[in-house]
Structure 1
Amino acid sequence: MEFADVVLRRRMVRNYTTEPVDPAVVDRILEHALHAPSAGFSQGWAFLRLDTPDDIQRFWDAATPPGRGTDSWSEGLRRAPVIVVPMSSKQAYLDRYAEADKGWTDRDESRWPAPYWDIDTGMATLLMLLTAVDEGLGACFFGIPPERIPAFRETFGVPEQYTPIGATTIGHRAPDRGSPSLRRGRRGREDVVHRGHWNRPSSRD
């Protein structure tokens, strides 16, 4: 598939069939994630791969708030046979930038204009989303409720050093049901690109 086609076909897929995903394909998806950029080549990320029915169910049990069962939003997601949870390690970045070639030995977080540990892990996740499309699959990135993160950590033995930035379902697409959010439409380039000055249109015309 041409790269432009991959980008244009990428969607957050919330409805899957129960057809299994070839483990070799999941390997490739994760391998591509490792080629994401990272500040100082810190690579402060980790990925929890869940690809058995038992692990998938344990994830949903841990990530779902009490009293909230299967609803119309999560019903299709729950059929996905693979979930990858990308996690970031702030400590890995603070430690890397305290090394001799960087020299930020105070490990002061105020030196960072943005949480690059989360940004870099997000870019790795985007590579997974794009690879899934290239493999003819669907994928969806969504958040884990903050109050459920302790249960997630306990269920899967995740060290405190790593924080999940969300979760990604991967599987074979079922017919789309349509997301209410899509009714907003996609903003055009002229709405978001500012050429040389905020109030200058992006077009040369």
Structure 2
Amino acid sequence: MEFREVVRRRRMVRRYADAPVDPAVVDRMLAHAQRAPNAGFTQGWAFLLLDTPEDLALFWTSTGADPGTRNAWLDGMRTAPVVIVPLACKDAYLERYAQADKGWTDRRDDRWSVPYWYVDTGMASLLILQTAVDEGLGACFFGIPGSYVGAFRDAFGIPADHHPVGAITVGHRLEDTGSAGSPARRERRDDVVHRGRW
């Protein structure tokens, strides 16, 4: 698929067909994610792959999705056969930039104008989303509710220095018109590019 078509077709998919995803495709998604730009070539990210019924059920319950609760968004999202959780590691960046070739001698975090550990992990996440489209699949990036991050960490043994930036469902697309407020029913803004001066 042409890159411009991948970009054009990328959207958040919230309901999936009852069909498995080829593990080789998932491997490509994760390989592409690791090619994302990252400050100082730190690679301060990790990806938790959940693709068994047991792990998927544990993910949804640990992140607050009560299996007995009926909710159109959750009902659709829980049909995904794959969930990938991108995690950012701030400590990796602080350590990398305290090395001799970076010129800082300590791990202070007040030098960072923005938290690149989140920026870089977000870019890696976008490569997963784009690879899904290129492979003819659908995907959706969404946040893990803050009040459930601890339960999610405990459920999957996430190290304390890794922080989930969200989660990505992946599967075969079904027709999904989205909710009334979804981007599928709104126009994309055209007032966000400013040339030369604001």
Coarse TM-score class (shorter-chain normalised): over 0.9
Q: Return the offset for 1:14.
A: 0.5
Q: Percent identity?
A: 62
**Contact conserved, 2:15 with 2:174, CA < 8 A, in 1?**
yes
Q: Return the offset for 1:69.
A: 2.2
- Paired residue for 2:41? 41
- Paired residue for 2:71? 71
CA spacing shift, 1:67–1:48, aligned 2, 3 Å = closer
**Counterpart mapping for 1:98-113 below 5 A:** 98-113=98-113
- 3-state secondary structure, aligned to 1:109: coil
Whole-Å separation in 2 of the counterparts to 1:66 and 1:173: 24
Note the aligned Cα RMSD (angstroms). Answer: 1.4
- Paired residue for 1:92? 92
**Contact conserved, 1:83 with 1:170, CA < 8 A, in 2?**
yes
* Residue of structure 2 aligned with 1:185, choices 184, 187, 191: 187
Q: Return the offset for 1:65.
A: 5.8
Whole-Å separation in 2 of the counterparts to 1:131 and 1:70: 31
Q: Which runs of 5+ in 2 are unaligned?
A: none
CA spacing shift, 1:67–1:29, aligned 2, 3 Å = closer
Q: Which runs of 5+ in 1 are unaligned?
A: 199-205
**Contact conserved, 1:89 with 1:163, CA < 8 A, in 2?**
yes
Please identify the structure whose Cα radius of gyration is greater: 1
Q: Return the offset for 1:58.
A: 0.4
Q: Return the offset for 1:8.
A: 0.3
TM-score by length of 2: 0.95
Per-residue displacement from partner, 1:36-69 (whole Å, max 9, x unpaired)? 0000000000000000111000000100166982
Whole-Å separation in 2 of the counterparts to 1:118 and 1:86: 10
**Contact conserved, 2:14 with 2:178, CA < 8 A, in 1?**
no
Whole-Å separation in 2 of the counterparts to 1:28 and 1:73: 27
Whole-Å separation in 2 of the counterparts to 1:59 and 1:185: 33
Q: Return the offset for 1:192.
A: 1.1
**Contact conserved, 2:60 with 2:66, CA < 8 A, in 1?**
no
**Contact conserved, 1:15 with 1:177, CA < 8 A, in 2?**
no
Per-residue displacement from partner, 1:2-23 (whole Å, max 9, x unpaired)? 0000000000000111211011
**Counterpart mapping for 1:121-136 below 5 A:** 121-136=121-136
Q: Return the offset for 1:103.
A: 2.5
Q: 4+ residue runs of structure 1 moved beyond 4 angstroms?
A: 65-68
